[in-house]
Structures are given as structure tokens and as C-alpha cells.
């Protein structure tokens, strides 16, 4: 009875909730046991995995993927503040370039800067976010999924077929502080049980002029300027399910935005005029078919991205500086899995992709115009014994750059191994021990290699070697504490040949060199509790804690030798407490970080203070008839009105709110 | 009645103001030994520092400005230059886009002169003083601003070439290096000559030095201009202009690939911030001969010579090392023979670029 009640509640709160369960059969992700709330079980993978599902995401006061991943352990989000501010992820201090972001089966391409701005990825139609260290647990995946130190897997709302209801429409509107407005619509139509179409669209706008405590003594409150944003997203999905073991999917995505680029706060000088416009279009196809003992998976994608940057104050002859970059990628992937026995399976996947970068502005003269051809081949194997599970893969990367002007970057031919294992004394045992080793690298980006004056074509790959050992503990009972989940992982990472920008002739002219080296030791811990209902109140809680010692060991003669990496707190964590009472849901979300330094030198001038952020989310579901659902939402962010910074001189918004209403037909 | 009072008062105010001007001709300097050093560090963002080093005790107060002005939020962002004129210190704040005026004796804040023109931050670079005025180059709007040192406000703006940087004064003329450094592929290579009596640009001299940065003069009125080059084909170089003819007197050629020059007592110190071989070349500007290919004689290694200043009273040479920017810099004191006397970290100063001697 309790379980049914929980289900009902969840179904009401999240209109797309059951999709999750039904989507399993066409999933490329590990088809692990589906629990009531989870797509994956964090204790079942050999590598640490953390997940937030739609229901959890809706309670996190989060607009973008960047806001949500802050709640994971081991994660550091560099957040420059505001809705339009750059937000990049660094997992276990390896830097943003080492995390691959997978959006519906395929890794997002980011060949120019190498860092995906997670602030641009809206949560509106996201079904789940999963962060895997090393590699996602499944071995039937495109080879590119094995090519990162960690992978953030984003899945958009999957189809749910209901013969009685072929069409689903979901519309919502959120408004809030600083001129925020966010209408969105989702429409899904099932022609029959085989064929569906989904269309999802959204607009986000904000003037972003949030107040902050002025940095100049006695100046009171200042307002962030040039922090406005307008963005638009549209996604179209079509799927044809011949049967449970033969599925074809298409996806087309379009996004554009126009935003101000507020500089850091500069004392006594408020001027800021730089702008950024960008556009992203991709279309991708997916086919997976299962045979008796084997499976095939094919993916193809075309990606186009455009960025326009303008500095209207740049003091050159033209009176402005601008850049218009066009990025294209053609991507093909094939994978084959063979189950030799119930114990042993192996896979081979091969990806080939061509990435190009062109520039079309008045300053494009001398730009290298690189074309990169990458061929990835990966073999993976999995062996599942009664108490021990092994998984390993070996990735071979071949990369070749050709430029129209100047020197080509170096060819890359590298073998990268990953091995992982887990041990569970018995099926009934609540304890599981896991470990992995991965030696991977990130290739120099087009910016690293070819950026006018700064790029250096002699760059080598930047290596990240990871070692991880962890214990997971899961306990279920009929007591007050219905289920408890504990995970703790200790890790050691070593980054060598880290690509860093260093001054060349003066501070105006920098160049990229493979000179960095980092030693990272850390602990990630997660706890989840589900409590027994008391008077119809369901309580659950989640805690994440991260300890990191990430030392710069690049240069023995430097004063920053053996000091903590900039912006890396030793301690950070998050707490989520949820209470569901009938149609009302209340969440309290806390993010915490200890102090950090903005530079290697650990002096007061470089100190960035510890911070805490407290958000409250309230939602109420009106359920008039079976076919209609309405939901009202109030999000109170930074309720204690704390003024804090994640990046020095980029103040974060103080108290702000969002209210929303959504309806499903 | 009120009108006539104003009529009488006005000349009085003008006279009083004129008296308070720091326009006393310094005359030939009779220098006493320095008691201490002001060290300016540009910082990386909002952390410019003015430090004070007590030469008698050997103690550095790294954030002297902060100590003397506890209610201030700091100098601001990217202090690029400072000069002393009369009883005041003028600190040129490039990032914060102002000139901050301090009492030279105790670094107590007097006034901040904003360099913001409408919605444009002018981003001032270097300063020089002449007859009651302080002249400041501004890279964004390609001008030299004239600060009246009695009212401490900008009274005039002189248009010069693109992105002016260093400046120096000979007689009643000022020479300004127009870098054009913001136009990649088309940097400037001219020097603007300003008649300080009329405060107008009278000539633009074309030189072989591209992307001019620093300007200094010797006692014969030779104007040395050093520049970065164009970062592609043209390397750093130095040109000498005669202030008598206002023509280029000598292009120093490939042997003088230096982007920075300072002249003390007719000796030129050529150096590069980042890159280049050696730290500093010594050159006699009267005989036009190299005095020493490398100033440092005791093997002291400097990572990045970010500023060189000489104590003209005793000939001590201070080489400021920005180390691996943006970590803390180091100040090194050498005797005139290039042997290190002492050095100290300028912590929390990052990117130290200038020393002034407090006597």
C-alpha cells in the first residue's frame, strides 16, 4: 500500500516519471535493475555513479544542468554568476576538458575550447542526469564514451506509450527576479505503439541586473550590468520501435542565445559592453538491434555551432573586436556486443569523426582553419561472477589535424586502458567494494593549438591517471528508516603535461604550454535516506561530501609549488531534504564550500571565502480530472541573502525567487 | 552686492589656487639618501598594491596603501605607473581607469580622478609631469589627458596616435609612443610630439620601432623609444629621436631587441619583460657604446624583469622580478657593478613594475 501511494505521488509530481521505467528497453545505458525511483543504482556499478532523476531535479531550484550537478560529490562547478554566466564542471579537479557530456546517446562536441558550458543546457526537458567516473557501466556504447575521465550523461524525456492517450501536451511558465521569464512547451504524439514524435521548446530571458554588495567601501549596493540573456531552444524527436529489441531514433536540436558578458567586478570601473551570441544545431540518428547473443548499435550525428563575440570598446583601427567562429562535426559510430556466456561479454566500437573550425569575421586573417580527423577504436569486456565483477576497456585514439595556414598540430596515437572491479560477498550482502583504474588524456583543443598568437602547435595531450577504491552500503528495512544508501570512494589522480597559458613577451601575449602537473587526493561520500511515512508525510534526504587535496606540482621553483589548485575547496558538500505531503512537496537544498584561493599563493589577497547557499522549493499539484494536471511552483533561492562568490569578483545573486505554473493535458 | 563680492573673490580664489599648485621647478636635484622605497605592483585583478620598504630596517609593508587607508577597498585593478610630483603621488590605474592621487609622504588617499569618458573606460597607462600639470596617456581613446594638479581634475585632452603608451618630456616638448598595439597585423610605429606650451600635437615621427612602449631621454635631448615589434616579422627594437630636429637620429637595429628602456644619468638600461636573452644591457647614451652586455655580473637569475629603476643618489639598481605571473613578485637591489646587495618578496604584490625613492 505504501509503495502504491508513493508511486501515485511521484506520478503526480513528475508528469513524465513513468517514462523512465518504460524507456529502459531502448536504453543504451546499463539495463540495471529498475527501482521505483532510480534509473541506475549507485551501488551497482564498478565505478562511482551519481544520478538525479526528473523528480529530484524538479526540487533542486535549478534551471540548468550546471545548477543541478553542484549537488554531486567530487564536482566543482565554476559559476561566474547569473543565468547567462559561464558554468563549467570539473570532476575530481581534473578540469572541464576531462568530462564528456553525453546528450541523448552521443557525446557533445566541443573541439574549440574543450569546455561545455553547462549553463546553456536547460533542465526543462531533462529526464535524468548521471555522472560516471571513468566510464558509464555499459559496454555497448560509442567509442567516444570511453574517451573521458568522467562522463556526464543527460537524457531528455523519453516516450511513454498509453493507448488511451496518444497525445501529451505539457506547458509551463516561470517568472522571477531580475526580469526572468521562461515559457516552455512539450508535445508528444504516439501514432501507434511503434511510432512517436516529440517536440519540446523553450524560451529563457532575463535582464540579469541583480543587486550585490558593492566591493568599493561605502558604495552600498551595486547592480550587475550587462548580464542580460535571451535564449531559445527547440528539440524534435522521432522514434520507431519495431519491437523491444529493434529501435530507431532521430533527434534534432536547435539553440540560440544572445547575452551580455559581464566582466569581473573591476573596482571603480563599472564599464562592461562585451556580447556573445551563439547558435547550436545538431541532428542525430540512433539504431540499436538485439540478436540472440549479440547487439549492434549505430549512431550518426551532424553538429553545427556558431559563436559570435563582440567587444565594442576594443581600441583598434576598426573600433571593435569581434570573432565569428563556425564549428562543424560529422560523426559516425558503430558498436557490436557479443555475449559469450552469462558470465562473459565483450564489445567493439569504432567512431570516426571530422571536426572543423572556420572563422568569418574581419579579423579572421591568419587563422589556421583546422580540420581534425579522429578515429577511435575501443574493445571492452565484462565478466560477471557470483560475487565479483570485472570490466575493462582499451581505447585506441588516432587523431590527425590539417590546417590551411601554418603548422599542423601533432598527430596523436595513444592507447588508453581502463579496468574496474567490484566485489560483493553475496547477493544479499549490503556491502560492495569497488575499484577502478583509468589512464586517459584530453587532446589539445583548437584554441590551444591554433588561437592566433596564443596557440602552440607543439602541444601534446594532457594526461589524467585515476585510481579509485570505494565501498557502498545499501540497507532496506520496514523500520522508520526504510532505505539507506552510503557510498564512499577514495581516489588519487595525477595530471601531467597539463596545458596551461603562460605569458610570452608580456602580459598581453600568452602562449599555451604542457607545463602543468597536479596531484589530487580526494574522498567522495554520499548518503541517501528514505523514511517511512508518518501521517502521510514522506521524508527523504541526500547528503554529499567532497574532500580534495589538489596540489600544483608543476614547478619546484614556483611559490605555488605544492599549493592547492586555484578555486578548489578542501571541503564541500550538499544537503537535500524533501518532504512530500499529499499534493504538497517541500524541499530544502543546501550547498556548502570551504574557503579557497583564487591563485596558487595562499595569501589573504587571494582568499575566496567559504560560502553556503540555501534554497527552498515548494510545489503544489492540483489534479482536477484524470486527464489534466496543474502544478504551481515557488522557488526561493539563497533565502539567507548571502553574498558569496564562486569565482572571485563575480558576485553570485543574493535572495531571488521564481514562481511557475505548469499544466499537462 | 552678491555679484560684486563674487567679482572680488574670484581673482582671490584663482590666486590661492595658483599658489597651491605643485609647479615649483625642481631644479638640479640635490639628493639625500633614500629612506625607503615605494613599490608598485600591478596585480592580476583588483589587487594592485603599493608597498613600502624601509631601507633602514629592511622591513616591507606589502600593502602600505591598505595600512594607511584602512577604510579604502584598495587601489583597484592593474596599477601601471606612478610618479611623484611635488608632495603628491599619482598612481595610474589602468584597469580601474583612474588616476589615484596620494600624499607622497604617507600614501594617504587624496583623490581619485576617473578616466571614464561617457560610457568608455579610457584605461590610462603612463604619466609624466610638467609645470603644474600631470600628463597621462590613455590607450582606449588614444589621448593624453592633462591633469591640473591644483584642482586635481582633467582640464584638457590631447589627441595623439593609436593606443599611446610611454611618454617623456624634453624642454617644452613631450614625446609619446603610439603603440597601435591593439590592431593585430597593423601596429603603429610613430611617436607624437606635443608642444607643452600650446598643449597640442605638433608632429608625428615615424620610426622603425613597432608597437612603441617606453620612452626616455638623456641629457643631450636624445629620445629613446622602445617597442615590442609586431609579434610576427618585426622583433622588439629601439629608435633614437633627436629632440632638436624631431627626426629619427638612429635606429639601433637587431642588436637592441628590447621592448623596454630606462635612462639614468645618461646610462640606458635595456631589458625585456618576458623572453629575450639576458636581463639587462647597459649602454652609454652620450658615447653611444655598450657599457656592459649584461648588467648582472654575479650570476643572479631574474625570471621576468618587469621594471628597472635606479636610485640616482647612490647608483643602486632595482630590478623587479614578476616571477611566474601571477605569483608574488620579488624586488632585487644591485650595486652599480651588477652585484646583488639584497632582495625581498613584495608579497602580496603581484607583477611589481615600479620603484620610487622616498628621501
Asked if residue A389 lies in contact with residue A422, where contact means CB atoms within 8 angstroms, the answer is: yes
- Per-residue pLDDT at A81: 87
A649 touches chain B (CB under 8 A): yes
- Per-residue pLDDT at B143: 95
- Per-residue pLDDT at A29: 32
Q: What is the 8-class DSSP label of residue A56?
A: H
Q: Name which of B336, B301, B337 is nearest B315 in CA terms.
A: B336
- Per-residue pLDDT at A351: 98
Average pLDDT value for residue range A183-197: 94
**pLDDT above 70: residue B174:** yes
Q: Name which of B233, B236, B127, B139 is nearest A316 in CA terms.
A: B139
List, for residues B125-147, the tens digit of each pLDDT value: 999 999 999 999 999 989 999 99
- Per-residue pLDDT at A505: 55
Measure the CA–CA gap between A208 and A230, rounded to whole angstroms: 10
Contact B184 A507 (CB under 8 A): no
List, for residues B78-119, the tens digit of each pLDDT value: 999 999 999 999 999 999 999 999 999 999 999 999 999 888
* Residue % of chain B over a pLDDT of 90: 81
- Per-residue pLDDT at A9: 32
By CB neighbour count within 10 A (0-12 exposed, 13-18 middle, 19+ buried), where does B204 fall? middle
**pLDDT above 90: residue A164:** no
CA angle B337, B291, B191 (to 5 degrees): 115
User: Can you say whether residue B288 is alpha, beta or left, with left for phi > 0 and alpha for psi between -120 and 50 degrees?
Assistant: left
- Per-residue pLDDT at A601: 83
The better pLDDT of the pair B184, A486 is held by A486
**pLDDT above 90: residue A233:** yes
**pLDDT above 50: residue A256:** yes
Query: In angstroms, what separates the C-alpha of B119 from chain A's closest C-alpha?
Result: 7
Contact B183 A318 (CB under 8 A): yes
* A418: Cα within 13 Å, side-chain hemisphere: 32
Average pLDDT value for residue range A303-319: 93
Average pLDDT, chain B: 90
Torsion of CA A12, A14, A18, A20, to 10 degrees: -170
Query: In angstroms, what separates the C-alpha of B274 from chain A's closest C-alpha?
Result: 5
Query: In angstroms, what separates the C-alpha of B9 from chain A's closest C-alpha?
Result: 35
Sign of the Cα torsion A495, A499, A504, A509 reads negative
Contact B73 A453 (CB under 8 A): no
Measure the CA–CA gap between A333 and A351, rounded to whole angstroms: 4
Residue A428 — very low, low, confident or very high, per pLDDT cuts 50/70/90?
Answer: confident
**pLDDT above 60: residue A6:** no
Residue A432 — very low, low, confident or very high, per pLDDT cuts 50/70/90?
Answer: very high
Of B63, B96, B139, the CB nearest to A269: B96
The whole model's pTM is what? 0.88
Lowest-pLDDT choice from A168-182, A266-280, B268-282: B268-282
List, for residues A499-532, the tens digit of each pLDDT value: 988 766 555 567 888 989 999 999 999 999 988 8
Residue A476 — very low, low, confident or very high, per pLDDT cuts 50/70/90?
Answer: confident
**pLDDT above 80: residue A332:** yes
- Per-residue pLDDT at A13: 31
Q: Which residues of A touch B71 (CB under 8 A)?
A: 217-218
- Confirm whether the ipTM is greater than 0.90: no
Asked if residue A290 lies in contact with residue A322, where contact means CB atoms within 8 angstroms, the answer is: no
Residue A26 — very low, low, confident or very high, per pLDDT cuts 50/70/90?
Answer: very low
Contact A313 B116 (CB under 8 A): no
Residue A477 — very low, low, confident or very high, per pLDDT cuts 50/70/90?
Answer: confident
* Residue % of chain A over a pLDDT of 70: 92
B277 touches chain A (CB under 8 A): no
- Per-residue pLDDT at A521: 97
- Per-residue pLDDT at B275: 62
- Per-residue pLDDT at A626: 67
**pLDDT above 50: residue A12:** no
**pLDDT above 80: residue A143:** yes
User: Of chain B residues 291-330, which have a CB less than 8 A from chain A?
Assistant: 304, 323-328
A242 touches chain B (CB under 8 A): no
- Per-residue pLDDT at B193: 98
Average pLDDT, chain A: 89
Q: How far is CA A58 from CA A587, A617, A635, A653, in A?
A: 10, 9, 10, 20
Average pLDDT value for residue range A97-109: 94
List, for residues B8-42, the tens digit of each pLDDT value: 444 444 444 444 445 455 555 578 999 999 999 99
Residue from B41, B46, B93, B100 to probe the interface with A (highest A Cβ count within 10 Å): B46
Measure the CA–CA gap between B65 and B117, rounded to whole angstroms: 27
User: Any residues with CB less than 8 A from the CB of B254 and at least 6 apart, and which?
Assistant: B235, B237
Lowest-pLDDT choice from A399-408, B19-28, B170-179, B321-330: B19-28
- Per-residue pLDDT at A114: 86
Average pLDDT value for residue range A215-238: 94
Q: What is the 8-class DSSP label of residue A21?
A: H
Q: Name which of B229, B241, B238 is nearest B256 in CA terms.
A: B238
Contact A603 B73 (CB under 8 A): no
Residue in chain A nearest B62 by alpha carbon: A605
Burial B82-110 (b: 16+ CB within 10 A, else e): bbbbbebbbbbbbbbbbbbbbebeebeee
Asked if residue A366 lies in contact with residue A455, where contact means CB atoms within 8 angstroms, the answer is: no
- Per-residue pLDDT at A501: 83
Residue A627 — very low, low, confident or very high, per pLDDT cuts 50/70/90?
Answer: confident
Measure the CA–CA gap between B183 and B185, rounded to whole angstroms: 6
Residue A625 — very low, low, confident or very high, per pLDDT cuts 50/70/90?
Answer: low
Amino acid at each position: 500500500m505504501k509503495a502504491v501511494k508513493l508511486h501515485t505521488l511521484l506520478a503526480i509530481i513528475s508528469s513524465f516519471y513513468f517514462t523512465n521505467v518504460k524507456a529502459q528497453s531502448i536504453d543504451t545505458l546499463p539495463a540495471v535493475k529498475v527501482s521505483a525511483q532510480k534509473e541506475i543504482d549507485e551501488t551497482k556499478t564498478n565505478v562511482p555513479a551519481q544520478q538525479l532523476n526528473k523528480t529530484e531535479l524538479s526540487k533542486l531550484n535549478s534551471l540548468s544542468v550546471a545548477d543541478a550537478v553542484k549537488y554531486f560529490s567530487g564536482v566543482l562547478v565554476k559559476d561566474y554568476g547569473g543565468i547567462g554566466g559561464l558554468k563549467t564542471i570539473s570532476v575530481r579537479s581534473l578540469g572541464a576538458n576531462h568530462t564528456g557530456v553525453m546528450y541523448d546517446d552521443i557525446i557533445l562536441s566541443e573541439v574549440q575550447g574543450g569546455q561545455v558550458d553547462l549553463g546553456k543546457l536547460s533542465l526543462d526537458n531533462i529526464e535524468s542526469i548521471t555522472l560516471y567516473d571513468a566510464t558509464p557501466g555499459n559496454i555497448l556504447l560509442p567509442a567516444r564514451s570511453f574517451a573521458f575521465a568522467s562522463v556526464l550523461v543527460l537524457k531528455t524525456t523519453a516516450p511513454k506509450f498509453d493507448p488511451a492517450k496518444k497525445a501529451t501536451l505539457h506547458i509551463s511558465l516561470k517568472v522571477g527576479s531580475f526580469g526572468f521569464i521562461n515559457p516552455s512547451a512539450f508535445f508528444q504524439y504516439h501514432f501507434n505503439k511503434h511510432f512517436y514524435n516529440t517536440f519540446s521548446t523553450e524560451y529563457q530571458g532575463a535582464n540579469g541586473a541583480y543587486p550585490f554588495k558593492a566591493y568599493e567601501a561605502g558604495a552600498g549596493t551595486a547592480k550587475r550590468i550587462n548580464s542580460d540573456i535571451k535564449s531559445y531552444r527547440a528539440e524534435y524527436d522521432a522514434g520507431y520501435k519495431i519491437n523491444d529489441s529493434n529501435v530507431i531514433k532521430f533527434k534534432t536540436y536547435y539553440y540560440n542565445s544572445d547575452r551580455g558578458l559581464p566582466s569581473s567586478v573591476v573596482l571603480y570601473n563599472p564599464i562592461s559592453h562585451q556580447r556573445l551570441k551563439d547558435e547550436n544545431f545538431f541532428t542525430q540518428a540512433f539504431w540499436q538491434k538485439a540478436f540472440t547473443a549479440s547487439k549492434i548499435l549505430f549512431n550518426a550525428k551532424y553538429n553545427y555551432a556558431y559563436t559570435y563575440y563582440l567587444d565594442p570598446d576594443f581600441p583598434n583601427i576598426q573600433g571593435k573586436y569581434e570573432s565569428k567562429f563556425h564549428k562543424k562535426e560529422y560523426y559516425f559510430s558503430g558498436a557490436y556486443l557479443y555475449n559469450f556466456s552469462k558470465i562473459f561479454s565483450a564489445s567493439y566500437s569504432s567512431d570516426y569523426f571530422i571536426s572543423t573550425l572556420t572563422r568569418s569575421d574581419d579579423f579572421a586573417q591568419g587563422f589556421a582553419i583546422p580540420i581534425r580527423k579522429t578515429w577511435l577504436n575501443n574493445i571492452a569486456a565484462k565478466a560477471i561472477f557470483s560475487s565479483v565483477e570485472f570490466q575493462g576497456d582499451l581505447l585506441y585514439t588516432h587523431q590527425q589535424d590539417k590546417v590551411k595556414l601554418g603548422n599542423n598540430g601533432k598527430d596523436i596515437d595513444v592507447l588508453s586502458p581502463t579496468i574496474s572491479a567490484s566485489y560483493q560477498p553475496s547477493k544479499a550482502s549490503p556491502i560492495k567494494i569497488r575499484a577502478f583504474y583509468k589512464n586517459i588524456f584530453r587532446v589539445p583543443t583548437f584554441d590551444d593549438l591554433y588561437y592566433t598568437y596564443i596557440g602552440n602547435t607543439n602541444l601534446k595531450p594532457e594526461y589524467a591517471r585515476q585510481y579509485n577504491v570505494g565501498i557502498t552500503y545499501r540497507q532496506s528495512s520496514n523500520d522508520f528508516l526504510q532505505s539507506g544508501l552510503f557510498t564512499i570512494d577514495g581516489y588519487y589522480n595525477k595530471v601531467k603535461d597539463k596545458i596551461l597559458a603562460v605569458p610570452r613577451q608580456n602580459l598581453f601575449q600568452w602562449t599555451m604550454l604542457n607545463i602543468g602537473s597536479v596531484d589530487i587526493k580526494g574522498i567522495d561520500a554520499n548518503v541517501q535516506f528514505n523514511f517511512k511515512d508518518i501521517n502521510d508525510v514522506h521524508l527523504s534526504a541526500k547528503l554529499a561530501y567532497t574532500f580534495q587535496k589538489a596540489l600544483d606540482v608543476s614547478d619546484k621553483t614556483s611559490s605555488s609549488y605544492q599549493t592547492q589548485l586555484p578555486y578548489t575547496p578542501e571541503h564541500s558538500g550538499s544537503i537535500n531534504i524533501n518532504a512530500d505531503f499529499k499534493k504538497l512537496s517541500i524541499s530544502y537544498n543546501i550547498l556548502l564550500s570551504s574557503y579557497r584561493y583564487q591563485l596558487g599563493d595562499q595569501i589573504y589577497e587571494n582568499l575566496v571565502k567559504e560560502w553556503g547557499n540555501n534554497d527552498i522549493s515548494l510545489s503544489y499539484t492540483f489534479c482536477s480530472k484524470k486527464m489534466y494536471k496543474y502544478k504551481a511552483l515557488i522557488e526561493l533561492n539563497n533565502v539567507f541573502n548571502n553574498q558569496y562568490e564562486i569565482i572571485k569578483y563575480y558576485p553570485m545573486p543574493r535572495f531571488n525567487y521564481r514562481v511557475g505554473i505548469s499544466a499537462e493535458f | 552686492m552678491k555679484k560684486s563680492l563674487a567679482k572680488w573673490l574670484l581673482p582671490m580664489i584663482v590666486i590661492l589656487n595658483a599658489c597651491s599648485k605643485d609647479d615649483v621647478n625642481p631644479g638640479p636635484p640635490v639628493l639625500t639618501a633614500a629612506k625607503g622605497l615605494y613599490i608598485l605592483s600591478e596585480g592580476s585583478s583588483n589587487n594592485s598594491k603599493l608597498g613600502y620598504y624601509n631601507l633602514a630596517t629592511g622591513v616591507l609593508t606589502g600593502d602600505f596603501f591598505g595600512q594607511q587607508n584602512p577604510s579604502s577597498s584598495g587601489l583597484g585593478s592593474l596599477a601601471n605607473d606612478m610618479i611623484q610630483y611635488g608632495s603628491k603621488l599619482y598612481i595610474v590605474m589602468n584597469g580601474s581607469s583612474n588616476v589615484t592621487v596620494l600624499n607622497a609622504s604617507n600614501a594617504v588617499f587624496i583623490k581619485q580622478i576617473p578616466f571614464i569618458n561617457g560610457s568608455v573606460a579610457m584605461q590610462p597607462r603612463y604619466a609624466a609631469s610638467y609645470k603644474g600639470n600631470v600628463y597621462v596617456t590613455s590607450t582606449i581613446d588614444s589621448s593624453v589627458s592633462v591633469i591640473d594638479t591644483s584642482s586635481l581634475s582633467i582640464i584638457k585632452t590631447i589627441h595623439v596616435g593609436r593606443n599611446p603608451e610611454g611618454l617623456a618630456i624634453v624642454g617644452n616638448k613631450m614625446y609619446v609612443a603610439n603603440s597601435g598595439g591593439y590592431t593585430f597585423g597593423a601596429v603603429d610605429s610613430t611617436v607624437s610630439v606635443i608642444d607643452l606650451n600650446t598643449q597640442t600635437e605638433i608632429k608625428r615621427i615615424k620610426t622603425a620601432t613597432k608597437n612603441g612602449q617606453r620612452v626616455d631621454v638623456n641629457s643631450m635631448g636624445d629620445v629613446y623609444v622602445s617597442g615590442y615589434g609586431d609579434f610576427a616579422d618585426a622583433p622588439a627594437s629601439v629608435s633614437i629621436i633627436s629632440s632638436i630636429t624631431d627626426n629619427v637620429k638612429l635606429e639601433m637595429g637587431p642588436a637592441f631587441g628590447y621592448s623596454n628602456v630606462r635612462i639614468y644619468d645618461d646610462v640606458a638600461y635595456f631589458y625585456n619583460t618576458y623572453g629575450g636573452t639576458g636581463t639587462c644591457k647597459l649602454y652609454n647614451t652620450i658615447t653611444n657604446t655598450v657599457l656592459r652586455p649584461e648588467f648582472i655580473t654575479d650570476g643572479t637569475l631574474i625570471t621576468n624583469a618587469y621594471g628597472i629603476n635606479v636610485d640616482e643618489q647612490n647608483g643602486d639598481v632595482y630590478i623587479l622580478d614578476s616571477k611566474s605571473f601571477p605569483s608574488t613578485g620579488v624586488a632585487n637591489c644591485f650595486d652599480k657593478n651588477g652585484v646583488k646587495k639584497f632582495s625581498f618578496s613584495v608579497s602580496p604584490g603581484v607583477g611589481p613594475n615600479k620603484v620610487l625613492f622616498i628621501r
